Structure 1
Amino acid sequence: MPPQWQGRLPGSATNFVSRRRELAAARKLLSTSRLVTMTGVSGIGKSRLALRLAMDVRPAFSDGVWLVELAGCDNAELLAETVAVDLDVDHRSGSPVVHTLSAFLADKRMLLVLDHCDGLAAACTTLIRALLAASPRLHVLVTSRNALQMGGERVFPVPPLTVPHLDRLPPATGLNHYGAVRLFAARAAAAQPGFVVDESNWADVAWICRRVDGIPLAVELAAAQLRAMPLRRLVDLLDAHFRERTKAVELAAPHRLRPQPVIDWHFDLCTPAERQVWKRLAVFPSSYDLAAAEAVCGGDDVRAEEVAGIVTSLLDKGIVHRRQDGTADEGVRYQLLAPMRQYGLEHRSRSTRRPDPRIRHRDHYLSLVTVAGTDWFSSRQALWSERLRKERDNLRTAIAYCLTERGKPALALRITSTLLHFWLVTGELHEGRHWLDRAIAADPSPTAERANALSARAILTTLMGDLDQAGPSLAEAEDLARRLNDRRSQAYTQLGLSMLTTHRGDLAGAMIFAEKALAGFRDTGDHAGAHAALSQVAIDAALLGDATATGRAEEGLALCIARQAGRAMPHALWVAAFAAWRRDELRRATALAQSALRLLRPGTDRLAVALTLKLLAWTAIGQNQHTKAARLLGASSSRWLPAELAVVQSQHYAAFDHRCEHGSRQSLGDHQFATVYHQGAQLGFDQAIGYGLGMPAADRPPAEWTRPHGARSLTQREQQVAELVAQGMRNKDIAATLLIARRTAEAHVESILTKFGFTTRAEITAWIAGTDQP
């Protein structure tokens, strides 16, 4: 995280037209109340005002300002999970996610922005009440059409922008005092370069702003039409539309505040193809890329190759917005604003035309997940992980549609079981279990997809500590996979049985299951499964003191290197370090564990950081570094960790912790141990990583220790050598490939290790695999 502030706020797609008075009033409310809800009709500017307020006040919140967008979340059961993921809160236990969130936020001075709470008002109220009770310094800023109606809430009704009175218009220069006119002028200049409000057009601009009630969305939509027509034509068309379509509404509600008439007008101005694409884009709950738009919107009377141009046209008209939450290298993403999406959904519901975009949406994301699953254990692992996180709302929508009568529940089984490794890496175990439970209940057919889903569910529930649920799932999966004679399904069943048996304490039996799983994964070419099985065998063998541990740990590390699976590398290094520690190779264990620690990204994988700090404490006590061991133990139980470490073999790790603590207490004494342990527990996340890497406890680790950057600091030859190391080449092979002396190749490798502070070639491989990470 940047040292100035923490949190996550998106960039603004367009310049914010100042609402100084509203910002000042809302800021005053936020300073005196811990819960402020911005209310108002769709298009009034609640989200934009909330984000600008959040940016302005973020220096006051030492633990950051965090945005959670809920427009694409329509499942109350996943609300807490959505908030936890967006706050980078690692939750892997079986306890409710709200408990982990409450523990994480307990001592935080933070502003949490919950945007678009409309469809989840009851769930948001329950969650906010729990979080505010747990964290006395937490503030929450909500946007919703209506107030939440809960104690302590201060409501800020967002007003429309100010507009001039048509019967007493000021001179053109005076119009700049009105917010709606300033917004129109800014957006009109973007649509028609050189546009300014002057004596020749000020009356028309004032009329438009007044006619659309100063609603920001309506003002922007009107201004966007200047790309296609002159201002006078815009006024005539808008006036004709309002007189024809809204007379009845005017009589019934002369003081309406809604952008609907302007959206109606925009829809009427669209070509038939643009209307079709607009309605089909409404299937996306939040953002999407162009490939997804082409897959979903193409077909019938719109060719796929036409979609890109139509999306661009809708973008020019202000109907589609470009998202600004990524870099140019990650590709552009688009989104319909909530009022435009709702409009498209309503029109599509009245249409009998086919194809149904929900089917195309489902099929596109089924294809995406299938490719990700096949390509998961590769150099693109980090990219796939980030891609699937960006598509979270779309994946939820696709799975939910599969679970409907027409959506084919069997496809839900396929999607959810394929996402197993993604959920394991990201720690979104509750989300995975939620969808697996529903998919399994929806389709009882005896298929390989069901067997895979049952095994995936058992693996997640085992990791969450719910063994009573894992056992029956594995029993059914094992029987089904055997009857189907499906080798891959059998392998995942054996992996699940290995994890469950380990958790129950039968390490020898667990090794047998894991070896069977490994053979099955190798037969079917499932590299991710093979790595999981190798890790399982190595850990169980190390716990037993079995000589198999070293070989299996090295195989797992070699597989990561060969496949350049950067996100799996820290775990592979940890397993190798654990195996080395168990055979008393303390220096090697320390070096491997520190290599793992360097590769763990800040803000994520907190559980992995905790386990690595524990391992470093165990190696320290073995080297009679009692003070260091005590401080590392404290750091591994710090407040930034998950509330519960319900992981496989946790009972064994607890025993190692106890042994380490006992040795340190004996050497330091109870008082000194408690003092040093407390110092470790008070370390922040970055400081704990830095201390584990050998820095003084009070120092802060440089950013490159957690995720090395610096390709520019390598020479061209060193870059070539690094890439060959990542391909698994030894020094003599690198020398032969580059036509240089072996000693020269060795010198280049040593230089790379020194420049980045690495100690192993595996770290070079992981760095190369991760250089395209966002």
Structure 2
Amino acid sequence: MTLDDAEGLAEAEGQRFGTFVAVASRRALLQSGEVVHLGDRAFDILLALLARRGDFVARDDLVAAVWPDRLVGDAALRVHISHLRKALGADPCGASWIVHVPGRGYALAEVASDAGGVSRCEAAGGDETRQDANPNARVFGREPILKAITDNLASRQLTTLVGPGGVGKTTVAAEVVRRVRDRFDTTVEVDLSVVVDPPMLIGALAASLQIGSPKTTSLSALIAAVRDREVLILLNSCEHLVAAVAEVAELMLRQAPRLRILATSRQALRAEGEWVRRVEPLDVPPPGAALTPAAALGFGAIELFVARANCQPGGYVLAPDDVVPIAEICRRLEGIPLAIELAAARLDRLELLGLGQSLDDGLGALSDGLPGVAPRHQTLNATLDWSYRDLTPDEQMTLRALSVFRGFSAQAAADLLQDEAVNDVSQTLMSLVAKSLVVAHLAADGTDYRLLDITRAYAHAKLEEAGEIARRRRRHAEIFKVVADRSEAEWARLPTTAWVETYAGDVPNFRLALDWAFSADGDAETAVGLTVALIPLFLQLSLVEECLNHVQAAISRLGRLRTDTRQARLKLSAALGWKPAGRTTEDQAASDLVETLAIATELGDVDYRLRCYWGLWLNAGNAARPAEALDFADAFIALADQAGEPNERLVGERMRARSLMLLGRLRDARLGIDRVLADYVAPPNRSHIVRYHHEQTLNARVIHSRLRWLMGNPIEAYADLRETVAAAEALGHGLTLAYVLADGACPLALAAGDFENAERYIGDLRREAETLGVAAWAAYSRGFHGELLHRQGNPAAGAESLRAAIRELTDLRFTVHRSAFSAALAAALLDTGAASEAGAVLEAELAEAAVVGDAWHTPELLRLRSRARIADLGRDGLAEARSDVIHALALSHAQGALTWERRAQVELAALTDLKASVSRRGALTERASRPAPASR
């Protein structure tokens, strides 16, 4: 077959994969137009694999396709698979085209991607090659820096690639050499990692350039050899010979203008004319990104992971379900290529979930070496050992000490080492930055520093080896206790945005300090002080569960302190006394608040007395005891008036309006909430968010929208509420957003029949509840989801979800919305034909409402009970059903609840028609039952 014949045949009939074309009619395999010789059985196997595109072919199916009339053992299949593998050669990442997964069978690597995954060839295709570990492997995620270097190589005599160990400097440099090789007469690589002393540098260059004897060649001889030629020299791993390399490079480049030097080093050479390019870690997806496999491979870190995993025995295909765990692994490894390759190499022994969990073990999880690479790159420890040994004693001690930080400033580093004999901490820090062991980030207010997680873990292990952990952790906690105290002091005077921007970045260090302070080696006074100081920040950031766990731990340690603990107990108890939607029992929360109120009264602290009244009001209201809650709101208002705090009074008015709404006193509630919205001015520092856990204006707007809806303006109410949701989302305060969703957005979207937004709001509420650890709001989301299911035509599933939500809320004693959920459950049950159960649900809820005064939903419960009576008893229930509706009409009219009143009017009209129909049927029945008149 000629080449022209092959090309025409491939174009007409071939099945393509990679650079191959299989032509079944001629039983020919072509690669780039050239015929590949293949045995008959091997070709049949190839056709069988191509016939099942997008799937693995089981061993038995493969045998049946190739040997349909014979019994063939595994050995024969393996022989011909081996022949096929040899004929096809390696794919772009150096592995076999034939993928074998035990239990699933065989597939062509590229074809296997059609089943919703991405193959090794899609991940590793292209003509770029690495020159280090595997000459067939691609370079991933480096196109911008590769283009910059290759484009500028003609005008830059000396280019140095700098970055931490394992970041891929050698890989990038080797790829640059491959791309530009044709521009030069000679290209050579000099591995300086094996050059121990500076005097050996000339000999290493001479050996690579094949000039004379390495032992006797002079620098002048080197220069003479390259002066009139286009030569590119790659000097790899210069960090331990920086001064010598810089000196030699300067001398050679001055006298050999056509010479180009490309160097890799963990720090710049600081040579004349040097162009420094930093090699950054590979791109990783942001947390929470929803990505398809194809989109995920747009990130260099994932692309590298998939390709390297696929080069393991058995191969690997990226499936949609694997994107999230792989992205998390790559994020945890911070996009460091060496770490990613080491992790991917473990997939032959661990599933993805197990691999991610193994990273909790630190560097030990990635201790196995990569074959075929330099010893210093075989493991992360070896890479970091190489850098650590090259540090001065001061630099080693500083690096070890810095491992206790999660990010730090130069001042924090100096404070940590203030008792050490380090000559100049600032200078030492700059040296570690230059050597790529510390990462510097220029910010608007200065420079922030951090260690990559891999470097930090290594340095922390060295800290432990040196026996220095205890004093470094103690000093770290002392430093951040000062920072925490400052944040508490500035909370009351700084604008909230500026305050959060100043201190939110310190949260990882605050957590480390708290972990140490509460540990067996810690200090009770530091633990209590840190916890108290951080309450405002943690609540502002909606870290509720975390904050209250620390508060409980701190209260348990108050007895160990020898100082007056009343102020600390006041602040801790006030925080713990708030029952955040089902975190503690209502009785315990009330008890904590009463105790705190007594301390605040004793100390004359108006602020904390107000907080206690607010907490008592909230707990009573959430337990569906609005009359009791109203008393606490009135006490709050009285204290605010006494203290001359008009803005606090308006907070109390908002509390009062909500209690009045739940009591069914809608007109009074509307007057109060209108005053709040007209006069309330949020403090510049948003201190009310910390004091009362929510943004007060948005909470007031939710109450206003609920009142407008109840009072007969549903369209305007929902439009206002949607604007409130947008404002809460923009605020970025989780507790406020969750309240807006739970108390406003979800119920009104469902009432408006806006199922698309209802589904979104319910999902948002569920996620906020999970993030905040608030069990009741999680139950709310289940209840609203049940109502949505019912409204969308699945009342049975809706009823089940609503039952579960009501049970959870009852167990939590968080029953403020239970009457609404019970109404929704009854409606769903009626649509399933379970009228008797619906009636029982309504009876129980009405009885509870009558006891506690929770009257805001009573008209709707009565209306639904009338429907349940008719559905259950027919015309025998008509009189009682009519009585319920008339009661609902009277009550809704008295409340000003025009929405309930309209529904009751419609129900009454239906009952009137039903009664008339029954009367007509009764008259007809009576007439039909009379004896016929006697005939005359």
TM-score w.r.t. the length of structure 2 is 0.41
**Larger RCO: 1 or 2 (CA < 8 Å, sep 6+):** 1
TM-score w.r.t. the length of structure 1 is 0.48
